[in-house]
Each structure stands twice: as structure tokens, then as C-alpha cells.
Amino acid sequence: MAVEHPIILHHFPQSPFSEKIRLVFGLKKIAWTSVEIARIMPRPDLMPMTGGYRRTPVMQIGADIYCDTQCIMRELERRFPEPTLFPQACRGLASASAMWTDKAFFQSTVNLVFGALADKVPQEFIADREKLRGAKFDVAAMASAIPQMRDLFRANVQWIEAQLADGRRWMCGDEISLCDINAYMNIWYVRSSLPMILDQVLAEFPATKGWETRMRGIGHGTSTEMSTAAALEIGTRATPTTAELADINDPNGRKPGDQVQVMPDDYGKIGVRGEIVALSSQHIAIRRHDPIAGEMVVHFPRVGFLVLPV
């Protein structure tokens, strides 16, 4: 008989990318399991399952591991289609919005937050992120760039306001979509760290202020806590359930069985190696055999990732 595995989110409370997923649990009324991971490496119970992918969050269902919020959203939508994150009016744009919200918009947000909190950022955190990026994590430079970051943050928030200006409830109309979840991540992050700055910015954006309240009201659904060790135990005992799927239009002729490595295309380019199980224009799943976790299938989105032959 097939075993029902819990939907586990490996995350930490301050993580804005994790907040997107917590909100989707709230929106779709999903019962989930919360595994709180360390903000910095090492994460010895998680790495055997991801094969080295180290960004946060990661979703685990048995021995299937979903990396990156794009990929997690897609899988949650497949399993829990109602209410949809992808209404037809903005089906493509809902996904594409992450390339705005997670990149340019997020850069203004994260630099603003770390610039304003420069004195409080622990040295171990700075060292961890420098190792990940292979570049200086310069909180002093971020502090001196606060005026420019406030300009950029405000300009990005104005785009939300412009979208809501006709009185609609959600960015794409009457139905909530992934556009709302993606954009809200940045508002949530500044709200959690710099509430006074956010109030100043939102003073000129009343529609965004109302939308923020609606977004916050979605909540996080119901969750139960689990330790990292218990999650690894589940991953180790379970068998991946991903079915083989070929993509006849793959532009590089890749197919199930090919050995590849997959890595983010911006920084922290740690390649996860494995054999292709399933692929499409938006998704690749690879099978790995880990000395600790055993057989795992690790899923990635395509945009923002490189797939290289091994």
C-alpha cells in the first residue's frame, strides 16, 4: 500500500522566500509539517537529501525534494489545485513575476534591510553568505546605499499600487494569484524588519496598504513541528514517487537516464548530480543515490538554473 508522506517545509521563520510558501499553505488550506533549519550552514540532516542545494526553502515529500519556490509552487498547485495560483488571465505572468519580485525588487529589499540593520548582523552570518556568494557581504556598503535602496523599493512598490489602482482586490483582478504572493514577500520582509520605513513608504500607496492587510490575513494554514533528524529519517526510509517523463521537444536532446548536474545560475553554484527522471520546459527531476539518505529524486525549476552534462 502506498504510504502518505507529510508535506514538509525546511525553512526558518525570518526567510522571505519561505514566507511565500507558508502563505500558499494558508491559501490552499494545506496541513503541513514545519522543519526549522539553521539560518547558516552546516545543515547536516538536509544536505544528504538535497545533494548540496543550500538555499531556503526546500520542500520534502517522502524521498522527493523540491528546490526553489518556483518548483515548490508548481508541485503544490499540482497536488492542491484549488484555489489556483495561476488564473487564466495571468497564467504565464504569475510565474514570470518571480523574475521581478525575487530579483530586482528583492535586491532593493534585502539591501535595505541589511543596510538598516548593519550593526546587528552576526559575523557568522556574514561569513556564511560570503562563502556562498564568493564575494564580500558588505553591510557597511549596504548601509551607505540606504537612500538609493529606498528609492528603488518605493519605485517597485509603486508598480503594485499601479496594478491595484482601479480598486481590484488582487494584482491580476478578482482572483488572487502567484503575482500577489511573489510581490508580497518583499513587503512582508520590510514589515518584519523595518516596520517604520514600510509605513512611511505605504503612506502614499493606500491600495497597497489595504492589499498588505488582505495578504497578511491569509495566514499559514495548520502545521506541526518536526526535527531535522526525523525528516531525514522519513527521506531515508521512503522511495521517490516521481514517474519517468520525457520531453520530446527538449532543445538539447536530453532524456531520462542522462547524467547531469543542476545548479543555480547566479551564485552558490553547487552542482547537484544525478540521472534525469523527468523533464519539461519548466522542470527537471534527477535521481541520486546518497550514502546517508539513499535514493532521492531532487526537483528544480528551469529558469534560474543551469543543467550541465556530467
Q: Let me know: does 214 contact 243? Beta carbons within 8 Å.
A: no
111 binds ligand GSH, rule: CB under 6 A: no
68 binds ligand GSH, rule: CB under 6 A: yes
184 binds ligand GSH, rule: CB under 6 A: no
The distance of closest approach from Cβ of residue 15 to ligand GSH in the complex, given in angstroms and rounded to an integer, is 4
Give whichever of 48 and 164 is closer to ligand GSH, judged by the CB atom: 48
Question: Which residues contact residue 130 at a Cβ distance below 8 angstroms, ignoring those fewer than 6 apart?
Answer: 136, 137
Angle at 196 between CA 191 and CA 199, to 5 degrees: 75
Q: Let me know: does 276 contact 256? Beta carbons within 8 Å.
A: yes
In the window 250-309, what residues touch ligand GSH (CB under 6 A)? Answer: 304
Kindly indicate which of the ranges 62-70, 79-87, 219-227, 239-247 contains the residues binding ligand GSH, using the contact rule CB under 6 A.
Answer: 62-70
178-193 and 106-116 helices, crossing angle to 10°: 10
The distance of closest approach from Cβ of residue 178 to ligand GSH in the complex, given in angstroms and rounded to an integer, is 12
69 binds ligand GSH, rule: CB under 6 A: yes
193 binds ligand GSH, rule: CB under 6 A: no
Please tell me the distance from the alpha carbon of residue 28 to that of residue 275, in angstroms, as a whole number.
32
The distance of closest approach from Cβ of residue 184 to ligand GSH in the complex, given in angstroms and rounded to an integer, is 14
Give whichever of 256 and 304 is closer to ligand GSH, judged by the CB atom: 304
The distance of closest approach from Cβ of residue 1 to ligand GSH in the complex, given in angstroms and rounded to an integer, is 33
CB-CB neighbours of 197 under 10 Å: 18
Kindly indicate which of the ranges 50-58, 113-121, 158-166, 283-291 contains the residues binding ligand GSH, using the contact rule CB under 6 A.
Answer: 50-58
Give whichever of 87 and 264 is closer to ligand GSH, judged by the CB atom: 264
Give the cell for residue 192: 518584519
Q: Which amino acid is at 287?
A: R
Give the cell for residue 91: 497564467
Give the cell for residue 77: 498547485
Among 15, 156, 186, 193, binds ligand GSH (CB under 6 A): 15
Tell me phi and psi for residue 201, to 5 degrees: -65, -45
Please tell me the distance from the alpha carbon of residue 150 to that of residue 111, in angstroms, as a whole number.
9
Among 6, 9, 17, 223, binds ligand GSH (CB under 6 A): 17
Angle at 37 between CA 297 and CA 306, to 5 degrees: 40
54 binds ligand GSH, rule: CB under 6 A: yes
The distance of closest approach from Cβ of residue 102 to ligand GSH in the complex, given in angstroms and rounded to an integer, is 6
Where does this chain bind ligand GSH (CB under 6 A)? Answer: 15-17, 54-56, 68-70, 102, 132, 304
